[in-house]
Amino acid sequence: MSAEDALKLKFAGAELTFSQFRDNHRIVVPAARLFEILAFLKNEQHFDMLAEVTAVDYLEYEGAKDRFGVVYVLVSTTSGERLIIKTFVNDPEPLLPSVYSLWKSADWLEREVYDMFGIRFSGHPDLRRILTPDEFTAYPLRKDYPLKGRGERHNFPVLTRAES
């Protein structure tokens, strides 16, 4: 039985949307049941590796109902299968459960999503910014953040030759 069939049986009541493009198997799940679905895929199926956590900002996107989509790419190292799990969160407080307790690789991946999109993960052991400096206040991959920034790249002391 494939992982998708197992999910259909186990979570019969949940709103799961299955789709496929070539060999990409995609499942959209409700955010409230995200953690138990991922825990099921890790513990009772064979998806023992979390390859990627990333997010998409759907602000002003045609036909989108939610602000952020968060994407988890799972890999099975025994069969080589990949599974893409997607869920949606919204402003003003985008919050998801951390999957650090399932896969240790979630540590930095979730920090990156937090840094770039401002989506918080409850239960994460060390949710700090990972790429931008600590004093940075914006979330630069959000669509309402200007490409050229709000002047952060110019906010440094100027050294002249006479004084250095």
Smallest gap, in angstroms, from Cβ of residue 70 to another protein?
A: 22
Smallest gap, in angstroms, from Cβ of residue 132 to another protein?
A: 7
Regarding beta strands 82-89 and 68-75, do their DSSP bridges make them parallel or antiparallel, or are they unpaired? antiparallel
Smallest gap, in angstroms, from Cβ of residue 163 to another protein?
A: 8
The residue count for binding another protein (CB under 8 A) is 25
Interaction mask 125-164, another protein, x per CB under 8 A: ------xxx------x---xxxxxxxxxxxxxxxxxxxxx
DSSP 127-161: ---SSS-TT--S-TTSTTS-TTTTSGGG-SPPPPG
d(Cα 123, Cα 144) in Å, to the nearest integer?
A: 28
Q: Residue 23 or residue 62: which is nearer to another protein going by CB?
A: 62
Cβ atoms < 10 Å from Cβ of 22: 5
Question: Across the strands, what pairs with 83?
Answer: 74
d(Cα 108, Cα 101) in Å, to the nearest integer?
A: 13
Q: Closest Cα to residue 29, out of 47, 4, 52, 49?
A: 4
Interaction mask 83-122, another protein, x per CB under 8 A: ----------------------------------------
Binding to another protein in span 46-65, by CB under 8 A: none
Smallest gap, in angstroms, from Cβ of residue 134 to another protein?
A: 10
Q: Residue 104 or residue 150: which is nearer to another protein going by CB?
A: 150
By the criterion CB under 8 A, which residues form the site for another protein? 131-133, 140, 144-164
